[in-house]
Amino acid sequence: MLDLDHPESDEMRARIAEVEANRIPMSEVMSWFAPWVVAAILVVACLGALWCASRASDNLTYAIGMIGAFLALIALIWEAGTALSGGIGNLSLQVLVDDELSLIVLMVLLGVLALGGLMLAAHGPSPTANGVGYGLSIFGIVFAFANLKHYFDRLEAGR
């Protein structure tokens, strides 16, 4: 039996070394849980969008809710396919651009998306439309900065 009263014993050191050698890295544990967390978030987003559509007081709110539910369902299916194929670790690299022309086109599209979202938020007939407009604006800005950071990180790594 292992003597735990004397921490300086060779048996204790061997046992600690064995436990350390069999330890699973935290990045691997996170890669196991990441698809489940993303799936849970997408399911909640889909149900929230369906709830918005069911409580809609006008056609625009109903359409926004149904489109949101459809997009969340498509994202859930895509995420499940990516997770099952083992590509969830490279997911962030699949949505970021590397070349200059793609970056310029993406920046223009994301700028239009952000401005369109702000216009929807300013002139939306319902609180749901306002929330969707602000969400589109925030998504466009965050995604644009993420792509800019990725592009310049790749440029600096090449030097």
pLDDT of residue 83: 74
Per-residue pLDDT tens over the stretch 38-81: 788 888 888 888 888 888 888 887 888 888 888 888 888 888 78
Q: Which residues have a Cβ under 8 Å from the Cβ of 87 and sit 6 or more positions away?
A: 94
pLDDT of residue 94: 59
The SS3 of residue 85 is: coil
pLDDT of residue 89: 53
Residue 92 clears pLDDT 70, i.e. is over it: no
pLDDT of residue 8: 63
User: Which residue has tokens 């070349």?
Assistant: 99
Please give the model's pTM, rounded to 2 decimal places. Answer: 0.56
pLDDT of residue 141: 92
157 by Cβ neighbours in 10 Å (0-12 / 13-18 / 19+) ranks as exposed
Per-residue pLDDT tens over the stretch 71-88: 888 888 888 787 777 665
pLDDT of residue 41: 86
Beta-carbon count within 10 A of 68 CB:
20
Cβ proximity of 82 and 88 under 8 Å: yes
Per-residue pLDDT tens over the stretch 93-124: 456 788 888 889 889 998 998 898 898 888 87
Distance of CA 52 to the CA centre of its chain: 22
Mean local confidence (pLDDT), 6-10: 65
pLDDT of residue 128: 76
Cβ proximity of 107 and 63 under 8 Å: no
